[in-house]
Amino acid sequence: MPRYRLLIEYDGRPYHGFQAQDGLASVQGSIERAVKGFCGQALRLHAAGRTDTGVHATGQVIHVDLEKDWKPEVVRDALNAHLVPEPIVILEASVAPEGWHARFSARERRYLYRILNRKSPPALDQGRVWHVKKPLDAAAMHAAAQVLVGHHDFTTFRDLGCQAKSPMKTLDLAAVRREGEHVLLDFASRSFLHRQVRSMTGSLVEVGVGRWTADDLKAALEARDRKACGPVAPAGGLYLTYVGYEG
């Protein structure tokens, strides 16, 4: 039974997250229906990460085990045909190495958070950015973000419903940059806690507007208390952009 590795992108707005849920639209449910439409096989796919309601992806990775040995390009094109008109696309398909798993073989995950920083609201990017009217100091945000890099107890930036066994995570990258009217935040880690990126982003915006300093962010991290977190950034600005594997 060949295992296929699929690189996918999707607009998260119409879905109640990636994970399949009874009676609710999900990215996983849509792809599994596309597989059944393509080859008649009912299966459960596996993903590198489970994005929340309204969160997008440009580099999500999943795998499916198919009963027939199809050419990868046939799998890609057939699934895309069955996914029309949903905003989900299979970008690449390949046969996975033996023992490879979309979730458990992953060594790095990268997220991008997009902020539109201007007075006027978005017209074309509604639900795809966080609109922040007050001017943001991206340089101050970047400098403050460096206190988050490294191995820490991220309880402050962990959703109360998070099911991870431990709040300890190693954040490899936290970078903030401005591109015109957009402020972009990049984060990389082997794995993240539930809503960790959105929680860190919201607190960094507090720095950007001048309500917090880098020391305030450091104090929030060291408090190990969810109540010390700033406002949680909305889901629409968040994108899973890359999943890295060995080899």
Q: Phi and psi (nearest 5°) for 32?
A: -65, -35
Closest CA to 234 of 90, 127, 93, 121: 127
Check if the beta carbon of residue 230 is closer than 8 Å to that of residue 206. yes
Q: With 70 as the cut, is the pLDDT of residue 247 above it? A: no
Share of the chain above pLDDT 90, in %: 97
* DSSP letter assigned to residue 146: G
Specify the pLDDT at position 1: 87
Check if the beta carbon of residue 159 is closer than 8 Å to that of residue 195. yes
* DSSP letter assigned to residue 145: H
The mean pLDDT of 223-236, rounded to a whole number, is 97
Is there a catalytic annotation at residue 52? yes
The three-state secondary structure class of 68 is coil
Catalytic residue among 11, 22, 52, 125: 52
Specify the pLDDT at position 246: 85
Which tens digit of pLDDT belongs to each residue from 118-143?
999 999 999 999 999 999 999 999 99
